[in-house]
Structure 1
Amino acid sequence: MAVTEQDPGTAVGSPRRRFTPGGVLQAVGITVGLLAMVGGFALLAVMYRPYSVPTDSMQPTVRPGDVVLAHPVKAGDIGRGDIVVFNDPQWEGSDLVKRVVAVGGDTVACCDTRGRITVDGHPVTEPYLQPGAGGSAGSGTFDVTVPPGRLFLLGDNRPVSQDSRVHLAIDGGTVAADQVVGRVDGVVWPLGDTRALTRTSAFDALPGRDASTPGPLSLLTWTTLGGGALVLLTAALGTFGGLVRRLRSRRT
């Protein structure tokens, strides 16, 4: 009786596994999607820290209950118009979110005849302020020359914000720039209001440090979401293709 020689790598009765172009594309799509999703999420976790905002001092830009994402920033890179998280022991000793309106060397004052703050004598129109809140700086006047390496900060909801104006007796209400723990780039919670915060041009007409360029929050977010969408879409197309092939094989 003749014995048929068999390929040692092939089991008896098992068909050879064939790699189709569709299967290869599906594997590549899922791999790329997973890399983008995991990589983007990992970079977000490393480069950003979440902070909860309990008050309405930064409305309408940041609302009570919002969770913001802050990117670490060097003291020398902070510019006018940046929204920052800082912690000054001479204030509340907790993390606070305010907007920088003057940096070291600036003279900031309240207010001109239209209720606008002035920086080095230049009135600043601030489109991000809470509508209908009265004068742009709220009640009270001030005239402060910011020492080098320090910042003057105000809330966007000026009438209720407890900011540099409340602490004028302590270093003119200024905060050391190295007390800033991060620049706020976006809101991550609630989910229905997730958004990146855009750079303001309110201070661009002034010489010196304007609002800094936002970090990679939008890019990393879209990379993470896009990677997840690619994984789901590729898997769905693969499943649909398999169903079509099985239906065809039953008809033949």
Structure 2
Amino acid sequence: MSGMGRTGNGRGRLGSVLSGLAVAVGCVLFLGGFVWGALLYQPYTVPTDSMSPTVAPGDRVLAERIDGSEVRRGDVVVFTDRVWADAPMVKRVVGIGGDTVACCDADGRMTVDGRAVEEPYLRGEEPASPIGFTVSVPEGKLFLLGDERRTSVDSRAHLQEAGQGTVPAGAVSARLDAVAWPLGGVLERPRSFAALPGGISEPGPIRQVLATVTAGAVLILGGAAWGPLAGLAGRRRRSAGRSGAAGRSGAAADA
């Protein structure tokens, strides 16, 4: 009996240590993931439908903090420009410094430096823009359009101004990586811009951040649940042991 007691106590102590370790590691991962995400990302609520159907008005998005030098064609960015509204806005970058952006070709597509760009994020079979334009983007500037080309107030609305509606690259503060609510997942980079010089941007570490937070939560919950579950299993084993001992005693008495 004494040997069994020591074994049981040893297992109990080991389980308690493992449970505490799991909770401790889980807390580090969970809190570390949140801190990591807070340093890299800023939440933003999309105010209008100018980026529909990619993001809808009221969507809560996560935008990775970047500077203008990291912007690539196809990126959906958050920027602030006093000429436009002096408030954060969300648009898609379709041209960078040195590009000639025009619309539309014979098939209704936008072109960048004469190369037609397929835009699968637009609605239906409509042309890339209901109005035609040709813009030479100055160095250090960006040409931006909304994905809802019929109603978006974007660079096309400022074509007659200095710079033809372009915005300084330094006006960009973040790049959209994911729709957090309602759950929409990570935004895919449009491959149609990949063949142009500079290519497209790489997704930020949003998946790694979410995986870290999730792993931490699982360890915390699992470690916290270990104690009650182990205690319940121990009580069942002891109850079964007492029942078996009682049965054997009764059998011996009958004999």
Question: TM-score range, shorter-chain basis?
Answer: 0.7 to 0.9
Moved over 6 A (4+): none
Q: After superposition, where does 1:61-72 map in structure 2 within 5 Å?
A: 61-72=54-65
Deviates more, 1:228-237 or 1:73-82: 228-237
Q: After superposition, where does 1:19-168 map in structure 2 within 5 Å?
A: 20-132=13-125, 134-137=126-129, 139-168=130-159
- Contact conserved, 1:109 with 1:118, CA < 8 A, in 2? yes
What is the alpha-carbon distance in structure 2 between the residues aligned to residue 223 and residue 131 of structure 1?
Answer: 38
Amino acid at match of 1:217: I
Q: Deviations over 1:75-99 (max 9, x none)?
A: 1111000010001100011111000
What is the alpha-carbon distance in structure 2 between the residues aligned to residue 222 and residue 130 of structure 1?
Answer: 32
- Contact conserved, 1:78 with 1:209, CA < 8 A, in 2? no
Q: Deviations over 1:33-76 (max 9, x none)?
A: 11111100111122211111121111111111101111121211
What is the alpha-carbon distance in structure 2 between the residues aligned to residue 136 and residue 229 of structure 1?
Answer: 46
Amino acid at match of 2:193: F
- Contact conserved, 1:81 with 1:210, CA < 8 A, in 2? no
SS of residue in 1 equivalent to 2:49? coil
Of 195, 210, 213, the match for 2:202: 213
Instruction: Look up the match of 1:173.
Output: 165
Q: Does 1:204 align with 2:197?
A: no
What is the alpha-carbon distance in structure 2 between the residues aligned to residue 161 and residue 154 of structure 1?
Answer: 7
- Contact conserved, 1:55 with 1:64, CA < 8 A, in 2? yes
Deviation of 1:120 (Å): 0.2
Over the aligned positions, Cα root-mean-square deviation in angstroms equals: 1.5
Q: Percent identity?
A: 47
What is the alpha-carbon distance in structure 1 between the residues aligned to residue 116 and residue 188 of structure 2?
Answer: 22
Counting matched residue pairs gives 231
Of 180, 187, 192, the match for 2:179: 187
Deviation of 1:234 (Å): 2.6
What is the alpha-carbon distance in structure 2 between the residues aligned to residue 127 and residue 85 of structure 1?
Answer: 21
Deviation of 1:211 (Å): 2.2
Q: Deviations over 1:4-45 (max 9, x none)?
A: xxxxxxxxxxxxx86632222212211111111110011112
Deviation of 1:248 (Å): 2.1
TM-score (norm 2): 0.86
Q: Which runs of 5+ in 2 are unaligned?
A: 1-8, 243-255
Q: Deviations over 1:173-224 (max 9, x none)?
A: 100000001111111123xx24211222111122x22221111111101211
What is the alpha-carbon distance in structure 2 between the residues aligned to residue 213 and residue 239 of structure 1?
Answer: 45
Select the structure of larger CA radius of gyration: 2
Deviates more, 1:236-245 or 1:172-181: 236-245
SS of residue in 2 equivalent to 1:172? coil
Q: Deviations over 1:137-171 (max 9, x none)?
A: 2x111111100000000111111111111111221
Deviation of 1:238 (Å): 3.0
- Contact conserved, 2:68 with 2:173, CA < 8 A, in 1? no
What is the alpha-carbon distance in structure 2 between the residues aligned to residue 77 and residue 210 of structure 1?
Answer: 11
Which structure dedicates a bigger proportion of its chain to helix? 2
